[in-house]
Structure 1
């Protein structure tokens, strides 16, 4: 049975960004409900300053969901989605171009280990080096799909949609 998906955009974008919009369409076509919080007000505080307010906003949205939602995030959205999973129940994590830390913040990336997770990253990510998230995935035995792309993963939007559809199918089978 489909559930609910919360899609968190990256910094310097918004809830109508290409990737989160496309992933929302994939989920909705499969019968999942979706929402895309708008973090632009939080992002005005700068990268380090936006982390805590983004997590608080995401916690509110998770608490408002009638069932544990799937969290989807790109870059800063992935970072806060992982951290939010540590404190509230979620059904899954689909994380793109995830930074391992945000400079000048008190936060390092982490996530709840018992949650189905897929990490997707670009080989040429110029913003969030692959080595750091690769090492994180290796230590946790997490699936990591690495694509021949940069931080935006814009050359693989269709592949992201296919992977997300498969991820949601697998979660629905577990339910």
Structure 2
């Protein structure tokens, strides 16, 4: 599948936020926001989990937005333990509704991997509190929400949680604790580590199934 990408920026609380927009072949039926892992440990918008999820969204007809967090690439500011990053992503969501009105008129998907899962979960809660448009689907991959949580959470019951059986960064038990606390089901990929090496096709298929019905 050929992928048309576009580089852009928007204004956030700490300065410019750099993002990539991956376009579907036709007019987008909606959009997705895919958030990358820890900025201080090599996480960027080009992480393989992020691009795998993005491609699944594009194949589903969604415009996929992959921002760089503070201090990564051309995004300004410094790492802020998910507090500033969550505020930045509120700015990105507001920007998308203005800059991409056709895509934003359809359903949207919020996905985060590792550190990005913590930002995604708190972004969902922040959007709900501000009465801003909520995503139709929330996806938490390699869930590390509690490691960077700074606010109360209320997760939608259809949240899609995906975790590797042998995750060496965020143990499966940690993901299960979060799932249990919020009464969420979890999809466990057998033999998969944190970065799903050799399991990206399976991950993509799970994401595609999670997009069905949007």
2:144 to 93, 99, 108: 99
TM-score by length of 2: 0.69
Higher relative contact order (CA 8 A, sep 6+): 1
Q: Which residue of 2 aligns with 1:58?
A: 89
CA 1:25–1:109 in structure 2 vs 1: closer, same or farther (change >3 Å)? Answer: farther
> Does residue 165 of the first structure (1) align with residue 196 of the second (2)?
no
Mapped contact 1:8–1:78 kept (Cα < 8 A) = yes
CA 1:41–1:125 in structure 2 vs 1: closer, same or farther (change >3 Å)? Answer: same
TM-score by length of 1: 0.83
Q: Which residue of 2 aligns with 1:118?
A: 160
> Does residue 75 of the first structure (1) align with residue 106 of the second (2)?
no
3-state SS of paired residue (2:161): strand
CA 1:57–1:31 in structure 2 vs 1: closer, same or farther (change >3 Å)? Answer: same
Q: Which residue of 2 aligns with 1:2?
A: 29
Mapped contact 1:101–1:109 kept (Cα < 8 A) = no
Alignment of 1:25-36 (within 5 A): 25-36=55-66
Q: How far apart are the structure 2 equivalents of 1:95 and 1:109? A: 17
Which residues of structure 1 form unaligned runs of 5+?
none
**CA-CA distance at 1:61 after TM superposition:** 1.6
**CA-CA distance at 1:115 after TM superposition:** 5.5
Q: How far apart are the structure 1 equivalents of 2:108 and 2:138? A: 9
**CA-CA distance at 1:81 after TM superposition:** 0.1
Provide, for residues 63-96 of structure 1, a one-character-per-residue CA deviation record: whole Å limited to 9, x for no partner. 2333563111110011110111002122211111
Q: How far apart are the structure 2 equivalents of 1:62 and 1:149? A: 31
TM superposition outliers: structure 1 runs of 4+ over 6 Å: none
Which residues of structure 2 form unaligned runs of 5+?
1-27, 98-103, 128-133
Mapped contact 1:126–1:150 kept (Cα < 8 A) = yes
Q: How far apart are the structure 2 equivalents of 1:31 and 1:58? A: 22
Q: Which has the larger radius of gyration?
A: 2
3-state SS of paired residue (2:121): helix
How many residue pairs are counted as aligned between the two chains? 166
**CA-CA distance at 1:100 after TM superposition:** 4.0
What is the alpha-carbon root mean square deviation over aligned residues?
A: 2.4
Bigger strand fraction? 2
